[in-house]
Amino acid sequence: MLLLAGCSGGVLDPKGQIAAEESKILVNAFGTMLIIVVPTIIGALVCAWWFRASNRRARYLPDWVFSGRLELVNWGFPLLIILFLGGLIWIGSHRLDPFRPIAASREPVEVQVVSLDWKWLFVYPEQSVASVNELVLPVEAPVHFSLTSATVMNSFFIPRLGGMIATMPGMVTQLNLKADHIGDLWGLSTQFSGDGFADMHFAVHVKSEEDFERWIAEARKRACDLDHAGYAALLPASQNVPAFVFRSVAPALFSDIATGKLTPQKASDNSAVPCPEAMR
């Protein structure tokens, strides 16, 4: 217990509504399984102690082969636990369907996510800005993610917000999350995708509404545009890419990536000068 006390920042330390519900399912499932595990361990120790060689009161029954009562206990209780766990997980999984919107008094923030080799691109279509390896969210605001991949399959995960989900080329998946506390979190890819997989993580900054709007305003002052040339500069494989932002985003860029209209060749055909930060 003392060694585990320092294990913070994971799925059992939630900072969002979805992560809190998922954590509750994990804890409830673990506690339910202990109903079988703990008595089994205690029973094994008790049997070893009772049937020790020095205990003359223990009955020796070499011809004993069956007990209906024991069979009922051995099979009945685990079956009940499995049925209970199945119901618990079934209900929880449907309640936490990543496609299901989060009930809130305000409209969700839209974020489009593209996994690359080996970095993450986040597009804010309503604000027309984008960032690489940095996700900024307003606190207590529902966020609707649309996710795809420009390369191979990856898996998007923010442990303290919940909702691990795949990003796949030619397909758009959806995820709804909400951060309940201001602070700095982290996210990562949980599916191996090549040499740079170990460093394919990103910073998550949960800010107040005012600070989020201030970050958007500061992003619009930057020098880089996420047009076809900027996107083409992002495509080559790179590792440990520092976070940076784009002040504008080409219309329908995410849709073109997801549907395969913007291939690496088509992206590089644009004659504009790409963002130098994207080429690092």
**CA-to-CA distance for 134 and 206, rounded, in angstroms?**
11
Shared domain check, 22 and 129: no
Shared domain check, 272 and 199: yes
Shared domain check, 120 and 179: yes
| Token representation of residue 43 | 């029973």
Shared domain check, 261 and 197: yes
DSSP-based three-state secondary structure for 267 = helix
Cβ(84)–Cβ(91) under 8 Å? no
Shared domain check, 231 and 139: yes
| pLDDT confidence of residue 157 | 95
Residue 264 has pLDDT above 80, yes or no: no
List the one residue out of 249, 267, 260, 256 whose CA is nearest residue 124: 249
Cβ(232)–Cβ(275) under 8 Å? no
Q: Which domain holds residue 79?
A: 9-53+65-95
pLDDT (average), residues 4-11: 70
Phi, psi of 13 (to 5 degrees): -125, 65
How many other CB atoms are there within 10 angstroms of residue 100's CB atom?
Answer: 12
pLDDT (average), residues 178-187: 93
How many other CB atoms are there within 10 angstroms of residue 150's CB atom?
Answer: 22
Residue 263 has pLDDT above 60, yes or no: yes
Q: Please, which pLDDT band fits residue 276 given cuts at 50, 70 and 90? A: low
pLDDT (average), residues 47-66: 88
**CA-to-CA distance for 121 and 114, rounded, in angstroms?**
5
210 falls within a domain: yes
* Chain mean position to CA 6: 21
pLDDT in tens, 225-250: 898 888 988 889 998 989 999 999 99
44 falls within a domain: yes
Q: Return the DSSP state at 13.
A: S
**CA-to-CA distance for 92 and 86, rounded, in angstroms?**
10
Shared domain check, 175 and 130: yes
pLDDT in tens, 64-92: 888 899 899 888 888 988 898 888 888 88
Classify strands 154-158 and 162-167 as parallel, antiparallel or unpaired.
Answer: antiparallel
Shared domain check, 144 and 80: no
Cβ(118)–Cβ(238) under 8 Å? yes
| pLDDT confidence of residue 262 | 74
Q: What is the CATH number of the domain that holds 223?
A: 2.60.40.420
pLDDT in tens, 124-176: 999 999 999 999 999 999 999 999 999 999 999 999 998 899 999 999 999 99
Confidence (pTM): 0.82
Instruction: Report how many domains make up the chain.
Output: 2
144 falls within a domain: yes
274 falls within a domain: yes
**CA-to-CA distance for 214 and 263, rounded, in angstroms?**
34
Shared domain check, 117 and 224: yes
Shared domain check, 157 and 27: no
Shared domain check, 71 and 135: no
Shared domain check, 235 and 126: yes
261 sits in the region (left: phi over 0; alpha: psi -120 to 50; else beta) called: alpha
CA dihedral (117, 119, 124, 128) positive or negative: negative
Looking at residue 104, its amino acid is A
Cα→Cα distances 24→80, 267, 271, 273, Å: 20, 45, 53, 50
DSSP strands (E only) in 90-193? 109-116, 119-124, 129-132, 134-138, 142-149, 154-158, 162-167, 173-178, 183-189
pLDDT (average), residues 192-200: 90
274 sits in the region (left: phi over 0; alpha: psi -120 to 50; else beta) called: beta
Residue 204 has pLDDT above 80, yes or no: yes
% of the chain beyond a pLDDT of 90: 47
224 falls within a domain: yes
| pLDDT confidence of residue 270 | 52
**CA-to-CA distance for 155 and 147, rounded, in angstroms?**
10
Q: Please, which pLDDT band fits residue 271 given cuts at 50, 70 and 90? A: very low
Cis peptide before 186 (omega within 30 of 0): no
242 falls within a domain: yes
% of the chain beyond a pLDDT of 70: 91
Shared domain check, 113 and 82: no
